Structure 1
Amino acid sequence: MEKAKTVAIGIQDFEELRKGGYFYIDKTSFIKEWWESGDSVTLVTRPRRFGKTLNMSMLDYFFSADHAGRGDLFAGLSIWEEEKYRKLQGTYPVISLSFALVKETNFEYTKMQIYQILTDLYNGHRYLLEGDFLSDNDKEFFRSVGSRMPEYVATMAIHKMSEFLCRYYGKKVIILLDEYDTPMQEAYVYGYWDELVSFTRSLFNSAFKTNPYMERAVMTGITRVSKESIFSDLNNLEVVTVTSDKYATAFGFTEEEVFASLDEYGYSDRKEEVKQWYDGFTFGEHRDIYNPWSVLNFLGKGKIAPYWANTSSNQLAGKLIRQGSRRIKTNFEKLLKGESIKCPIDEQIVYNQLDRSEGAIWSLLLASGYLKVLNDEEKKQAGEKTKYELCLTNGEVKDMFYDIVRGWFDESDGAYNDFVEALLKGDRKAMNVYMNEVALNTFSYFDTGKRVSREEPERFYHGFVLGLIVDLQDGYVVTSNRESGLGKYDVMIEPKDKENDAAFLLEFKVHDPDEEESLEDTVKAAHAQIEGKQYEAALVAKGIPAGHIRKYGFAFEGKKVLIG
């Protein structure tokens, strides 16, 4: 029996992967599907670590005249079965760029990074300066490309290189731009969005729209940044998102491919475990797409772990949920408990709306791979955005979000854990001590950071509830803002062992000086609401005796909390 190939982790260069004889699942059918589509400019969005960079490298090695005669890299793969494509290999000038490493905290550094990428492109083609092939003006422009070039030179650099290569080879160029939106995400996080959008719009317009020297182009990224932001002039753009049927199996592994690999590596008995953790991505109508990064790591190590979730910062996802409104947090509560939500989705991500648009947040989480479409979209009414039923993608993503929620309380981790312990024991004095420490350290962290708002206690306590869900998941069911009795309670903690463990009702109130003289009065008002609205009715209906239900009012005044 032939020995299984070595699983090499992190190789993104197609030649290195093929020459090394490493494990590879054939995705060369993407070359044929893309080429025969005839599309001028294609943008493919997929979550990180889904083979975008490897596929772009594959396109480069297949089409680029720099790799002419390298049919050996494709021998035995599906694309090499047709004579037509064997003759096509290595016959086009190709410009291949990546913005994957452009991760800076301000616009000037970002621009410097992009300038360096363009400078490297020109340095790689300095042979064009030899002889009289270029005019004196062309050579002057060529030599002006560098770290200190004017912005107008930078925005025209790809366009002009396309012209030079087209004239040299007598053939229009193919442009490949990988991870085009990485600088966009950094610009949103660090607050230089408008500056970068202006620069990028000019760069993309000259490269992809007003470029008669371009044959075709492919861009990849995680998100489809809104057309109004940077693609306003690109009416020749074919966008392929996670809800598109096009190229559905070209990025990521199908279940058939994963199960065949598990058989090959002796893990046939672990298929269901792998499916639970790494399956769940849905591209168009094609379900059961697996996360390739995690599958490769599992094949190499034989151990279930959150490989994909740990590959890069999940800072943006955590920030959007942590600072989100009550509705965002209560929806996220449902997701953490394995339930689904129905939300409006607009796949054109408008980053500067993320602070105020719930739909934009869920759209970003879907594009990033944290959520999956559970069912087909609902038919929308005239004027309404499309709604999808969404849930967490798989076990790995759920584990990642558990860690994010726990991280919210890092600064007061000991106090938070002590509070939970005091709550379960019914030690009200200790609860007050520890809760005030937690609130002091984390209140502002849950707010938007722009100003201390009246919503701050609400943001805090809903984040706090998510922490309870994560920490009490083994022995309790935690819910919030649900109907019970004559109204909606704030938090209900229901024991799974109804005979031996107590249940809890928590009501949160912000001190209103017009209504209450002291925090003690606010606590009494919270208790009056619990009793008056008969919140315990849902617990009693489930067979929990009234004597086993503990009721607490939480009164907030600034960062001070009183529990009674």
Structure 2
Amino acid sequence: MPIFIAGSGKCFHLETSHSPFYNVLKRSVTMTYITSLEMANKIGKTKRWVNDCCAKGLVQGAYKEGNRWLIPADTRWKVGSENRYAPLPIGVSNFELAISDYYYVDKTALIKDVIDYRPQVALFLRPRRFGKSLNLDMLKTFFEKNADSKADLFSGTNIWRQGSKYTNEQGKYPVIYFTFKDIKFSNWDETLINLKNTIQLEYRRHSNILESPNIQQIDKDFFSSVVDGTLNSALWVTTLSRLSEMLHLAEEESVFILIDEYDTPIQQGHTNGFYDEVVAFMRNLLSGGLKDNPHLHMAFLTGILRVAKESIFSGLNNLYVSSVLEKRYSEFFGFTESEVKKILNDYGCGNKLTEIKNWFDGYKFGDTEIYNPWSVLNYVDAECIPKAYWQSTGSNDVIGELLSKGDTKLLDEVRGLLLGGSKKAYVDTAVIYPEVIKNPSSVFSFLLMGGYLTIEQSETMFDGNMMCELKIPNKEIQLVYEKEILSRQDSMMTQDRAIAFQTALMTGDAIELQNVLQSFLKETISYYDAAAEGFYHGLILGLSATLYRYYEIQSNREAGNGRFDIRLKARDTINPNFIIEVKSVKDELPETKIKDKLTACAEQAVLQIDAKDYAMDLQGEVRKIGVAFWKKNCVVISK
């Protein structure tokens, strides 16, 4: 059969389709080929699995070009009988493993932006578990010069479709990579030992440079003293700059420096009392490697807080800070809605978008709507069971500390957020750990940077920071506040008590509700010098707040012909509404008169609900509850 090759002016006649030359021409003329990664994404398998099938001859028409397999795009996949979908990369921060053995959400376009913008030093600030470590390892895998090429890992990805300007950068540079994510120790001595160990491991990884004729003996001696731990204690802070110099000399290319979770040791220092020591070490280590370093090509760091006011980045005029406020790079950390839709469709749960949006969406990075990637993957992996997956991934110690030490105003503002409100606050992206405790205005900056709040509206201020309207992003974080944060503000408000209160209220059991409150008072009222009506009101409001998922919690608002104390307005038509009126008896009473007096006051409270028509605008069933208190005693009347 004759085959014409465009532009060649020649016609080839092949007599048999079994000719190898025929197969080559057929590939170039009549077939469209895709990479094994593209095929893996198409059929819901891993790249490694597809490559294995090709190597075993199970894929008709597949052939190997260099290190990568190419497969006819119209191949009808019939090999294998395993489950259709690849495993989800929950907790996987190794890029090569993620892209080869797991379902991979392609974030390689970050590499294109890095090459285009070329920030000499960039700091990516995002909440924990939003893909920082995986992205940093992706940069390492792409840019690092290796004996074995890693180019095949990127074939079929977004970056590989961008042209030679970008693909020529792959595997070109020496890379220094530190991760401090596991430096979590309770004292400075152990922290320093493990910081040194991290440095030693990276030196060992680059031991091949000692064979370079460009490395002088004095550098080899320094290198050896790092590896064997005999380096003078004052010189450990110079190890980053010295390694970059030696790599540049040996490889004759400038160096990438990548540091993951640089601020983890700093947070531990704040929590455990060695803050000054760890800040001094990190300041000197990083400034030596990043400031005016002629051997540096680019550097990327990840963390949650900038810690700028501690001068860790002092003098770094080339520093670009990518926080949750910045538009650039905003889509690369966390999942966008289109990515979430694809995951749901690929795993057969496309009808769950509304639920997953309510639970794990709500973040706004720059101008991009972002879902929590850790929670999305866990949700899909758990067959779409919604719960707070993120709260168990790290410590909320700093937030627990600030709420336990916060004043009444701060606690009221946090309660307001939990009940669905918002807070207007000045957001300083350079907030530091000590300020979180000392300066109440910095609390909300920390909560935003840590992923506990999101931006509803914002306005840029004269100093480059923002005045933002902040709110809790989704149901998952509401649960985090309830279980991990608000519960720490007061040891009295235990989860058991909250559940007992909810059960008695929802079942309409006035006697059990009275018993719950009575027990609570006997155990806790000694914490207070006086028990005014405001205390009792706050007590019931705090217990009611745990029902926010089902009710709009309202307090001291106008309705009907007056102002009610507490109202629980059902969010659906199934649950009843509640109006709770609180009375406090201030007179001294003999033991024999207490119950009668409290009963009369509680009945009066119920009558007031009717008389003032507090239920006027409520739809559906309304339950009216009067509660009267005297010191450690109470009576509940329900109607």
1:149: how far off? 4.2
Return the match for 1:320 from 396, 399, 402.
402
Which secondary structure state, in structure 1, belongs to the residue aligned with residue 454 of structure 2? strand
1:59: how far off? 0.8
Which secondary structure state, in structure 1, belongs to the residue aligned with residue 119 of structure 2? coil
Partners of 1:15 and 1:61 within 8 A in 2: yes
Tell me whether 1:34 sits opposite 2:34 in the alignment: no
Which secondary structure state, in structure 1, belongs to the residue aligned with residue 92 of structure 2? coil
Return the match for 2:520 from 435, 442, 449.
435
Counterpart CA distance in 2 for 1:543 and 1:14 is 54
Which moved further from structure 2: 461-470 or 262-271? 461-470
1:324: how far off? 2.5
Superposition TM-score, scaled by structure 1 size: 0.81
After superposition, give the CA deviation of every residue in 1:119-148 in whole Å (9 maximum; x if it has no partner): 111122223334764333223322222556
Partner of 2:44: 4
1:366: how far off? 1.0
Counterpart CA distance in 1 for 2:288 and 2:253 is 19
After superposition, give the CA deviation of every residue in 1:389-442 in whole Å (9 maximum; x if it has no partner): 11111222223323226854589555565567778766697466412455279x
The one-letter code of the counterpart of 2:376 is V
Gap change, CA 1:215 and 1:66, over 3 Å in 2: same
Partners of 1:406 and 1:467 within 8 A in 2: no
Partner of 2:224: 143
Gap change, CA 1:277 and 1:312, over 3 Å in 2: same
Tell me whether 1:394 sits opposite 2:468 in the alignment: no
Counterpart CA distance in 1 for 2:584 and 2:206 is 66
| Matched ranges for 1:20-169 at <5 A | 20=101, 22-66=102-146, 69-81=149-161, 82-130=163-211, 133-145=214-226, 147=229, 149-169=231-251
1:453: how far off? 11
Partner of 2:98: 17
Gap change, CA 1:23 and 1:495, over 3 Å in 2: closer
Partner of 1:246: 328
Which secondary structure state, in structure 2, belongs to the residue aligned with residue 249 of structure 1? helix
Which secondary structure state, in structure 2, belongs to the residue aligned with residue 65 of structure 1? coil
Gap change, CA 1:57 and 1:502, over 3 Å in 2: closer
Which secondary structure state, in structure 1, belongs to the residue aligned with residue 468 of structure 2? strand
Which secondary structure state, in structure 1, belongs to the residue aligned with residue 384 of structure 2? coil
Which secondary structure state, in structure 2, belongs to the residue aligned with residue 239 of structure 1? strand
Return the match for 1:358 from 440, 448, 451.
440
1:36: how far off? 1.5
Tell me whether 1:492 sits opposite 2:542 in the alignment: no
Partner of 2:392: 310
The one-letter code of the counterpart of 2:124 is V
Tell me whether 1:470 sits opposite 2:546 in the alignment: yes
Gap change, CA 1:260 and 1:67, over 3 Å in 2: farther
Partners of 2:283 and 2:313 within 8 A in 1: yes
Partners of 2:237 and 2:288 within 8 A in 1: yes
Tell me whether 1:345 sits opposite 2:385 in the alignment: no
Gap change, CA 1:260 and 1:195, over 3 Å in 2: same
The one-letter code of the counterpart of 1:51 is G
Partner of 1:233: 315
| Matched ranges for 1:368-447 at <5 A | 368-375=450-457, 377-378=458-459, 380=461, 386-404=466-484, 407-408=487-488, 414=496, 430=515, 433-436=518-521, 438-439=523-524
Which moved further from structure 2: 228-237 or 74-83? 228-237
Unaligned 5+ residue runs, structure 2?
Answer: 1-38, 46-85
Which moved further from structure 2: 263-272 or 216-225? 263-272
Unaligned 5+ residue runs, structure 1?
Answer: 444-451, 556-560
What do you get for the CA RMSD once the two structures are aligned? 4.2
After superposition, give the CA deviation of every residue in 1:134-193 in whole Å (9 maximum; x if it has no partner): 333223322222556444221100100001101101121110001111112222222322
Which secondary structure state, in structure 1, belongs to the residue aligned with residue 330 of structure 2? coil
After superposition, give the CA deviation of every residue in 1:521-561 in whole Å (9 maximum; x if it has no partner): xx99xx9xx99xx99969477689xx956354576xxxxx6
Superposition TM-score, scaled by structure 2 size: 0.72
Gap change, CA 1:421 and 1:225, over 3 Å in 2: same
Partner of 2:80: none
Return the match for 2:412 from 330, 334, 348.
330
Gap change, CA 1:493 and 1:201, over 3 Å in 2: same
Tell me whether 1:280 sits opposite 2:320 in the alignment: no
The one-letter code of the counterpart of 1:404 is E
Partners of 2:144 and 2:174 within 8 A in 1: yes
Gap change, CA 1:299 and 1:422, over 3 Å in 2: closer
Gap change, CA 1:211 and 1:332, over 3 Å in 2: same
1:286: how far off? 1.6
The one-letter code of the counterpart of 1:14 is F
Partners of 2:497 and 2:516 within 8 A in 1: no
Gap change, CA 1:63 and 1:419, over 3 Å in 2: closer
Which secondary structure state, in structure 1, belongs to the residue aligned with residue 201 of structure 2? helix
Tell me whether 1:268 sits opposite 2:353 in the alignment: no
Which secondary structure state, in structure 1, belongs to the residue aligned with residue 338 of structure 2? helix
1:517: how far off? 13
Partners of 1:29 and 1:79 within 8 A in 2: yes
Partners of 2:173 and 2:254 within 8 A in 1: yes
**How many matched pairs?**
532
1:118: how far off? 0.5
Which secondary structure state, in structure 1, belongs to the residue aligned with residue 172 of structure 2? coil
Partners of 1:344 and 1:359 within 8 A in 2: yes
1:48: how far off? 1.4
Tell me whether 1:195 sits opposite 2:277 in the alignment: yes
Partner of 1:447: none
1:102: how far off? 0.8
Return the match for 2:290 from 199, 208, 212.
208
1:293: how far off? 1.8
Counterpart CA distance in 2 for 1:86 and 1:422 is 65
Partners of 1:480 and 1:492 within 8 A in 2: yes
Partner of 1:558: none
Counterpart CA distance in 1 for 2:202 and 2:373 is 30
The one-letter code of the counterpart of 1:338 is G
Partners of 2:120 and 2:299 within 8 A in 1: yes
Q: Which has the higher contact order (CA 8 A, sep 6+)?
A: 1
Counterpart CA distance in 1 for 2:262 and 2:198 is 13
Which secondary structure state, in structure 1, belongs to the residue aligned with residue 283 of structure 2? helix
The one-letter code of the counterpart of 2:44 is A
Counterpart CA distance in 1 for 2:260 and 2:464 is 33
Gap change, CA 1:419 and 1:292, over 3 Å in 2: closer
Partner of 2:3: none
Which secondary structure state, in structure 2, belongs to the residue aligned with residue 347 of structure 1? coil
Counterpart CA distance in 1 for 2:498 and 2:583 is 18
Which secondary structure state, in structure 1, belongs to the residue aligned with residue 258 of structure 2? strand
Gap change, CA 1:346 and 1:70, over 3 Å in 2: same
Structure of greater Rg: 2
Partner of 2:579: 503
